Amino acid sequence: MPRLLFLPICVFAAVLLIGGPNVHLGQNYRVWSDNGGGPDNSHFSALNQISKENVGTLHVAWSYPSNDTISYVWNPLIVGNVMYVLARNNSLVALDATTGKEIWIHEALTGIAPRGINYWESKDHKDRRLIFQKNSYLEEINADTGKSILTFGTGGIVNLREGLRRYPTSGPLGRVQSNNPGKIFENLLLQGTSPGEGFLAPPGDLRAYDVTTGALVWQFHTIPHPGEFGYDTWAKDAWLYAGGANTWGEISVDAKRGIAYFPTGSATYDFYGADRPGTNLFADCLIALDARTGKRLWHFQAVHHDLWDYDNTSAPQLITVMHQGKKVDAVAMAGKTGFLYVFNRVTGEPLWPIKETPAPPSDMPDQHAWPTQPVPTAPPPFSVQKFTADDVNPYVLTAEERAHWRQVVDSALNKGLFTPPSTRDTINMPGNQGGSNWGTTAANPAKGVVFVMGLNEPAILKLSKEMPRSNRFVRGSAAQGRTIYERNCQGCHGADLRGNGNYPSLIDIMTLVGADTVRSTVSGGKGPMPSFSADLKESDMNNLLTFLSNPAAAGGGRGREAAQEEAEKLGGPVVASGGAPAGQVMAKLGAGVRGNSPYGSMGGPPYPEGVDAPSERYYTGYNIMGNIIKPPYSTLTAYDLNKGTIKWQVPVGDDLRALKEGAHDTGAIGIRVGMVTTSTGLVFMAGGDMKIRAYDQETGKVLWTAKLPGQSKGIPAIYEAGGKEYLVVNATSPPGGRESPIRTDSSQPRGYIAFALP
């Protein structure tokens, strides 16, 4: 039977499942129809079937296979009895939330923001929409039918690049969409961006769009224009060329008050700021805006004149605490710095003093590091903030590697948390990927308890004048590239490019992130991956990139074709393909799909005429060295913000390589996982060892563990359907390879796993 013949039955089923009395919007903590669980992004559920007493009996209720080689970081949404997931070669799939059975499939949404979507419905419940970013455009799909809504925007798309270019010579804009979906408030979509991190990147303006028309409702300039508050914290005319200061992470909303909380990242370029003297508002801030108008209510800057890429990206947690004998509605923001910053959410007043503390000066030409940085007096930090030779990893490394890194760390510039990067090795701790990142905060809001998953990941930065290479690489030999891959990469990413342990799949990586990003990561390192800059010549790099762009050309490894073939093996009710036609046309025209400017990821175009900017630019790789520090590599921390103290801190699972050496409870290296919390006192979170755990909120004790068929990334979800409570976990990332000591439950497919009580 042709698959499209399923359409009438499936659409009818979707309407029945979505439109029932189970649909509840707003902050009642009993549904998961919003990314992160609700407007406040607390990842909290008030459902109470699953408790400390019975959590040990949880079992797999159903599973849905992802059916391809892509690693998804998706947070499922559940509306009534329908769940929305990303699977099958970037297809949006509606599932029966009680069985995992497909209702409809909108296939091949290549370029969709990978971490989730938004759901909106009209007051009469007749207009239901799924809202997402794809290739730097906004699009919408009818939640009942799975088909694109072509009345949204122009031909079904809204261009997120519009309004960000500031002067004629700024060049074409690449990818600007955030990987996170933004937030719905009333009839508005609150949206951040990810405009890149190089010199003269676009500004990270915060914006709100009308959900039904796509019209821009308001825009907040994070790099102030002349006459706007904060303009004097930058060089004159910096708004013409300075970039970043964007929200690429999670937005939280106090729906009752209509206040939106935006965490912002560094101004660009991240590691050398000679062209942007000053504190640089509103980079590295928590900004409270009127959600309806975009008016600034208050702000706090966590890092002045950022030189470390210490972006704020985790969801600010909205909690109620007892403070100095009074009940206070507060907001807590976890940073890459390893600090938790806590404020009165209405006034912006810190609950505990935050002191301006002297910071080291920069030795770079034309660079003026800010002389002080804000340091909270309470609560204590959740991540390690120093790294010395005594902290070099006793596991994973060989004796020779250990001795090498002790020598490197001993001789590096190392003056603490805010040591400015230099032309000599400089310790960056927590590293630019350390501390707290997207998806890694949660709360029990009424109890004033906040949970943070933190990474201890040093980076070793070193500035130079070497211009980052263009993404338009010179093609080399795929066969020679395969040899280079086998020698340097296969041990972690696997012979089939599917990944190994904590390392991601490289299937279709050149299309997904672009050649320049791959080149930068290989050269500079990122997450648990070390730098290969000293090991690869330029010709080697070009050969490697050629192989990754088409593994089949080397006579081995099937790459993108394998992903497509596996996705197509599964039939099902496919109702549409590729999103709005207008968006497909723009993608074919190459309108920023690859996400990189022609100047390279860090290079950037020339400064506009008349601007007083330095004549030279300096660069560094991210140079994250997650495997050279002793454990714990990652931790889960519970804060009691009624007291400003840490209740407990535990490692997040095991690292697979350290486990082979007999080391347990190390935490995993470089993981990106979120958690869900419950009113019954549980915290559910996956580790880097293909296990999901339930922790006791009071003690951190593990109460339940279950194996997963693959690694889990992103945020789980808790929901109720058909009178039953479920925990759904995204376990779509490849498991450990043949050398891994961890074995998966082969009876379960890699995909979305739903657990329930007997």
**pLDDT for residue 344 is more than 80:** yes
Q: Answer yes or no: are the C-beta atoms of 81 and 75 closer than 8 Å.
A: no
Rounded Cα distance between 622 and 520, Å, is: 8
158: containing domain:
3-464+622-756
Burial letters for 259-289: b for 16+ Cβ neighbours within 10 Å, e otherwise? Answer: bbbbbbbbbbbbbbbbbbbbbbbbbbbbbbb
Which one is predicted more confidently, 479 or 610? 610
**pLDDT for residue 563 is more than 60:** no
**pLDDT for residue 474 is more than 60:** no
Tokens for 132, please give them: 């997402």
Q: Is residue 286 in a domain?
A: yes
Q: Is residue 36 in a domain?
A: yes
Per-residue pLDDT, averaged over 201-227, amounts to: 97
What is the pLDDT, as a whole number, of residue 286?
98
Per-residue pLDDT, averaged over 376-384, amounts to: 98
**pLDDT for residue 573 is more than 80:** yes
**pLDDT for residue 634 is more than 80:** yes
Tens digit of each residue's pLDDT (9 = 90 or more) over 680-726: 999 999 998 899 999 999 999 999 999 999 889 889 999 999 999 99
**pLDDT for residue 520 is more than 70:** no
The mean predicted confidence, pLDDT, of the chain is 87
**pLDDT for residue 567 is more than 60:** no
Which one is predicted more confidently, 413 or 477? 413
Of 10-19, 71-80, 280-289, 734-743, which gets the smallest average pLDDT?
A: 10-19
At residue 189 the predicted structure's pLDDT band, cuts being 50, 70 and 90, is: very high
What is the pLDDT, as a whole number, of residue 83?
98
What is the pLDDT, as a whole number, of residue 7?
33
Tens digit of each residue's pLDDT (9 = 90 or more) over 218-234: 999 999 999 999 999 99
Q: Answer yes or no: are the C-beta atoms of 676 and 490 closer than 8 Å.
A: no
Q: Is residue 507 in a domain?
A: no
At residue 382 the predicted structure's pLDDT band, cuts being 50, 70 and 90, is: very high
Cis omega before residue 632 (within 30°)?
A: yes
Q: Answer yes or no: are the C-beta atoms of 673 and 440 closer than 8 Å.
A: yes
At residue 385 the predicted structure's pLDDT band, cuts being 50, 70 and 90, is: very high
What is the pLDDT, as a whole number, of residue 640?
98
At residue 742 the predicted structure's pLDDT band, cuts being 50, 70 and 90, is: very low
Q: What is the side-by-side order of every strand in the sheet holding 82-87?
A: 77-79, 82-87, 91-96, 102-107, 574-577
**pLDDT for residue 596 is more than 80:** no
Domains of the chain: total: 1
**pLDDT for residue 85 is more than 50:** yes
What is the pLDDT, as a whole number, of residue 374?
98
Place of tokens 């407990």: 648
Per-residue pLDDT, averaged over 623-629, amounts to: 91
What is the pLDDT, as a whole number, of residue 748?
75
Closest C-alpha to 17, from 76, 79, 63, 77: 79
Q: Is residue 699 in a domain?
A: yes
Which one is predicted more confidently, 70 or 578? 578
What is the pLDDT, as a whole number, of residue 735?
65
Q: The CATH number of the domain where 352 resides is what?
A: 2.140.10.10
**pLDDT for residue 728 is more than 80:** yes
**pLDDT for residue 737 is more than 50:** no
Count Cβ atoms within 10 A of the Cβ of residue 5 and give its class: 0-12 exposed, 13-18 middle, 19 or more buried.
Answer: exposed
**pLDDT for residue 545 is more than 70:** yes
At residue 278 the predicted structure's pLDDT band, cuts being 50, 70 and 90, is: very high
Tens digit of each residue's pLDDT (9 = 90 or more) over 228-276: 999 999 999 999 999 999 999 999 999 999 999 999 999 999 999 999 9
